[in-house]
Structure 1
Amino acid sequence: MLIEATSQTTLGHVYILSGNDDLHIGAGITITSLDSDAVITFSGTHQIVVEGHVVAQDDGINTIGTDTAQTVIIQVGGSVTAGGDGVVDDADGVILDGIGSRLENHGSIVAFGTAASLFVRDGGTTTVINTGTMIGDRFGIWNKFGSGTLEFINSGTLESAGRAFQGNIYTDHVTNSGVIRGGIDLNGGDDLYDGRGGVVVGAIQGGDGNDRFILGNSAETVQGGYGTDLLDFSYLTSSITLDLSNAARNRGDAVLGDRYTSIENVTAGSGSDRLTGNAADNGLNGGAGADTLTGGDGNDRLDGGKAKDYLVGGNGADTFVFSSWNGRGDVIADFTRYFDRIEIDAASFGYTGGVGTLSADHFVIAADNLALDANDYFIFNTTDQTLWFDRDGSGAREALIVADLQSGAVLTAADIWLV
């Protein structure tokens, strides 16, 4: 049943929804609770649409305890105000419960506690879309309970004197093309922050888990936290210079002014990029351009991607990754036999001799790049320290260059790993 709200001021709840009641608060309508939640429900499936105004001493709209999907929509010109006089310091604008629930705010939500407090039920996805304004004194958005996935899509303004977005230990996905003031804490879990086109005033914290950060052109402070975290610039067509150990060296609109801590992995786009790691075990992927990758300290994985790349492992036991054949041969500046490793994607190269350590029968050391018999798939040319791949293992077809190692380098079959 659809309930059309009327303007009224009451003690207690203004509307208690049951069954499958829906509530419409039309433009020009104001409902006010002087001492409690304005709208509440404990069960059923409901759609609550606000074109007017909801004012509450405690929570504005409260769906706590519901199991099924709830929908709350604040339209343009509509508003929810909770805990206006500050007596109830945990007064929330919207408390959203239920598996697969959805909140859309195109108007405004202002709360002395949290603008939107979410119970993200197990096995479901709760979605929050904000094109308007959401302000909470404690939090802007709080993923309070549950092990489901929270999807927050912001093209408006989210603001808090405490923290604008507070995630939980499970999965939070934040897409921000608007403004977030007060910082982001994704907390635990393998989370995603996509900030292309957006601005964050405050730090973006990954917390525990393996988090992925897709950053835009604004200056951002990213704290990866525990786990293995990724800066993903794979969407870029322009070039960047990114140094995880010295932000002053960063160049390019997407990274200029950024600050990173506890970040392990970086993926670049199709430009000619320069990526430098830190003391951690880094994973650097250059993408499609002609890139320079420097691992620094740690046991690093360097994947130049397409085009001819320049790879420097630095200290540690490093892995030089060839996930696809680029036809040009990457330069490896500091390969150390028995310590470093060359990793090759067998399928992309067309190698059918199995995975794991390369068989010595499939490897030959010679003064040129010619196969000697039908099993010579990989050839190390000692004249110029280049590694070649012969698809048929016989020399019937021209060998393909894989890598160009530094002068004096030594390579054995045991240094090559097939995946």
Structure 2
Amino acid sequence: MSPLSSTPPTLAIVGASYAGVQLAASARDAGFDGRILMFGDEPHLPYQRPPLSKGLLTGKTTVAALALKSADFYREARIEHVPDMRVSHIDPAAHRLTLADGSTLAWDWLALATGARCRALPMPGAGLQGVHALRSLDDALALDEAAHKGKRVCVIGGGFIGLEVAAALAGRGLEVTVVELGSRLLSRAVTPEISRFVASLHAAHCVRVLCNSAVQAIHGHAGKVSAVELESGECLGCDLVVAGIGVVPNDELARAAGIVCANGIVTDALGRTSAPGVLAIGDCAATPNPHAAEPDTPLRLESIQVANDLARAAASLIAGQPQACIAVPWFWSDQYDAKLQMAGLMSPTDDVVVRGDPASGRFSVFCLRDGCIAAVQTVSRPADHMLGRKLVAARTAIAADTLADPDFDPRTLIPR
């Protein structure tokens, strides 16, 4: 049911990526028959983002193949996609938003799917030509063009985006160095066992990985990057820099409107914010997750699956049949010929059980919390990943020594 009584009701969606598109589609599927407008700040139709750091940079994916939905879909579903239009202000009390061109729109439901932006490099030289970030299609196209001309690249940040870019560019023959501030790669997302494998994987492809290393400055010549200087004093000569030091949630609209934010726009499991009628979904939303070590603490997860699931939950609320988001979070990353897949949310205090031999390039890591399977991380073992999602969802209890036995079959843990 709409929070206002206007006929027909209007759903305004700020943001045109996975969460926004999923909400619009799911609201229609659930029977919402009002007007749906989706405002995007890019000129393109909504597109897939994971291939930007994977297939697009390797040449395996074309720009034409990136569209999430065709133009016909939006027309047939009566979803008004408004490209290249920024929302400059929202007024939850008046149920009205203001666009960058000065026009206004009254809404019954407002969904903030504003996503996140790349964290800026906090050092001298960050604005030199040849310094890139990767978030949008235009970012990816600019990086692809620069890679055709470059020979040596320094990737700042050993997270998923940085490492996927490193793998793609190394595969194109560039000399790649990864600089990571922390003691290991992917330290916030994966176990040390997975980190060690990923480091060895990049080393095997001639990528130099420098952990415990901080960038002091980026140097240039004639306005173009020429080197990255580390705090150790070492200078890494390069003609291309890619920054992958994380993202910042786009929660400015919500903050300005007095909506509660804490590393993102705080919501419940249906996407509801502190303002009636205002929802938040996708990378901008911080939502409690029942599979986290602290399930009542709002958590911002940068995941397509999480964005889509929360969007479906929000759509169910709009349609008057609320179904909270409780799905197990899962993620993936492609680097070279290895597929890293994760299900659940690990904690640094989890007990870890490794199944399989990391040296083979195919193994799984199970994370146990309070005697139950809380997360499963796999390398090129898709069957274990699918099994892991079921085991995490069921909070399956298992002794660590039993799980560590190579003769034990985890499939027996699934009820018949």
Fold conserved between structures, TM > 0.5: no
TM-score by length of 2: 0.22
Structure with the greater alpha carbon radius of gyration: 1
TM-score by length of 1: 0.21
Q: Which has a greater percent of strand?
A: 1
Q: Which has the higher contact order (CA 8 A, sep 6+)?
A: 2
Q: Which has a greater percent of helix?
A: 2
